[in-house]
Amino acid sequence: MKRFNDYRMRRVLIGFIVSGFLNIVPICSALEYVWTQKSDMPTPRWTHTSAMVGGKIYVIGGLTSQPGERALSTVEEYDPSTNTWARKADMPTARGNMVGSSAVVDGKIYVIGGDDNVSWAWPTVEEYDPATDTWTRKTDMPTSRWGLATCTVNGKIYAIGGAPTSYTGLNAVEQYNPIADTWTRKANMPTGLWGLCAKVVNGKIYAFGGRTGTTAVPNTYEYDPATDTWTRKADMLLPTSQMGSAVLGDKIIVIGGWHISSRFPYTTVQMYDTETDVWTIEGDAPFLRAVFTAEVVNNRIYAIGGTDRPHPCPAFSTAYELTINPPPPDFNGDGVVNIKELLRLIESWGRDDPMVDIAPPPFGDGMVDVLDLELLMSYWEQQVDDPTLIAHWALDETEGAVAYDSAGENDASVSGEPVWQPEGGKVGGALAFDGVDDYAFAPQGFNPADGPFSIFAWIQGGAPGQVVISQLNGADWLSADPASGFLMTALCESGRGGSSLKSESVITGGDWHRIGFVWDGAHRALYVDDILAAESTQKGLGSADGGLNIGCGMNSAPGTFWSSLIDEIRIYDRPLSP
């Protein structure tokens, strides 16, 4: 009875949802990093600091490109809504070398430390009130330093690391109470660092990057203000310092920075997931940049100023907007948003399920709720254009020796004499293989070790031991096991810890089945007809870069050639959630 009631309630809820949301205007977005150059800042500068208050960004101090690189007191306000700049009251004390050393409490900006590029390491603290455009001197920080990182938790500002009178990182942590205008010493950071960044996610501080001396390190630390304790976390993939950083949801985005300032800066964008303690490389910015600032307004990151080369460093006035668009809510990767996605969302309602927590963009809010439902319904019954789809062989051709890749440039050459079936596919046409020597070969390699990905295909027929997708000199990605025709994969970690994953779902015979493999970076999963058929944990997948065989085993061995139909092969560079 309970199962019947759950089913009835689900159908009622679906009917209500569909009727209530079908009139929402469709939107188009995809997982992509979109950079847009905005109006230049009036004053070129680097080593400045910045802060966001009331949807506006305040860029403060820094150094110029002039001989001697004099420090600035200049303050300029950027309004992203109008893409305009306005001059504001100068900071009383001209200073630079303070990327990341400002913090906001109750709508006021506190600029802490820095120097004038002549005398070293100041303890100066000055408060700026954007509402009145006025500055106030506050109690000096106990430890004079430049290149420190600051952030705010529960109305208190934490000043972390920095350098004194040399390029040697400090591990000092001091807490500032703006109401009492007092400082308190806290537990030292495990490693002395300068040129680092610090960001707050869910009440904890994450300090990362920076330098101990002259070279950047990949260190990441988590500080819990409630217990005054530090914990070492996963290292950054690329050691960097004096970079821009910002928080979106529970993710930290890191842009550019220097490994060492005698070399050119990075363009690399890295992302840290504080929930999983995993760093990823997200691609490149369209510019080299170090000693600049990044702020977030309305889920968009603004990267401002900085320099693009080693010393002597020219100061830039450029401002770039970064918009990160999420993938469309095609959870199972079949190219359309429909009842399957809705059911998947309902199953996770009220829970933290990263696979279907899609709103607000780009990374959700930790809860599957009405915001996610609204976004999903805005795509209802739409074909989606998903840039995470890196290969798509629809196999809808009517003739010829090429199976075209509609998502990329990896067209497959057809060998043997497979027969095109224009009307015989599960989705449009399909390709019929004879089980003897028919197959198609796509020469470009997809390395399974590169990161998360998913592959799905429709198949009909086949026999035990036959292979649907394999990689030349690699592994059989999707196949029917030789004994019973169960779906299996040979994709696994290298060495003695690796083994095939086999389901208990038969895929051979006369019925159509949608089969798939999903790798999320830690778990393998096999799906049959969008139902989880087998899963396991893995440390990684073995590396291979050979082309893909469609319809035969990795080395085209007799008995591995598929007999009957294959249709609609899709590969995504993200884990899907059927």
Q: Residues 199-230: pLDDT tens digits?
A: 999 999 999 999 999 999 999 999 999 999 99
Instruction: Quote the percentage of the chain above a pLDDT of 70.
Output: 94
pLDDT value at 136 more than 90: yes
pLDDT tens per residue, range 33-54: 999 999 999 999 999 999 999 9
Kindly report the backbone phi and psi dihedral angles of residue 345, in degrees, each rounded to the nearest multiple of 5, phi listed first.
-70, -40
Q: Where in the chain is the domain with CATH 1.10.1330.10?
A: 2-29+329-377
| pLDDT-above-90 percentage for the chain | 81
pLDDT of residue 558: 95
Q: Which residue has the higher pLDDT, 465 or 166?
A: 465
Please, which pLDDT band fits residue 326 given cuts at 50, 70 and 90? confident
* pLDDT number for residue 309: 93
| pLDDT reading at 7 higher than 60 | no
pLDDT, residue 567, reads 97
Q: Please give the pLDDT value at position 19.
A: 36
- Distance (Å, whole) CA 265 – CA 335: 39
Dihedral sign from CA coordinates of 34, 35, 38, 42:
positive
Mean pLDDT on 239-246: 97
CATH code for the domain defined by 32-325: 2.120.10.80
Least confident among 216-220, 310-314, 525-529: 310-314
* Confidence at residue 67, expressed as pLDDT on a 0 to 100 scale: 63
Residue ranges with strand state E in 373-438: 389-393, 402-403, 412-415, 419-421, 430-434
**Count of Cβ atoms closer than 10 Å to residue 350 Cβ:** 8
State which amino acid sits at residue 424.
G
CATH 3.40.50.2300 fits 2-29+329-377, yes or no: no
- According to the model, what pLDDT value does residue 173 have? 98
Q: What is the pLDDT of residue 504?
A: 97
pLDDT band at 23 (very low <50, low <70, confident <90, very high): very low
pLDDT the model gives residue 365: 87
Say how far apart CA 572 and CA 387 lie, in whole Å. Answer: 9
The three-point CA angle 183-186-187 to 5° equals 165
In 3D space, the residue among 391, 381, 394 whose CA is nearest the CA of residue 330 turns out to be: 381
Whether 87 shows a pLDDT value over 90: the answer reads yes
Q: CATH 2.120.10.80: which residues of the chain?
A: 32-325
The predicted pLDDT at position 61 comes to 97
* pLDDT reading at 16 higher than 60: no
Give me the pLDDT at residue 2, please: 27
Instruction: Dump strand ranges (E) for 228-368.
Output: 229-232, 244-248, 251-255, 268-273, 278-284, 293-297, 300-304, 319-325
pLDDT (average), residues 531-554: 95
pLDDT at residue 578, as a whole number: 87
Report d(CA 528, CA 511) in Å as an integer: 12
What's the pTM? Answer: 0.76
Which pLDDT value is given to residue 385? 83
Domain with CATH 2.60.120.200 in the chain: 389-572
Tell me the mean pLDDT in the region 534-560. Answer: 95
The answer on pLDDT for 174 being more than 80 is yes
Residue 20 has pLDDT above 70, yes or no: no
389-572 folds as Jelly Rolls (2.60.120)
Task: Write down the pLDDT at residue 552.
Answer: 97
Among 151-155, 172-176, 256-260, 441-445, name the one with the lowest average pLDDT.
Answer: 441-445
Using pLDDT thresholds of 50, 70 and 90, give the confidence band for residue 4: very low
Can you tell me the mean pLDDT for 572-576? 91
- At 383, the pLDDT band (50, 70, 90 cuts) reads confident
Range of weakest confidence among 12-16, 306-310, 330-334: 12-16
Confidence of residue 24 (pLDDT cuts 50, 70, 90): very low
Does residue 433 register a pLDDT over 60?
yes
* pLDDT range class, residue 126, cuts 50, 70, 90: very high
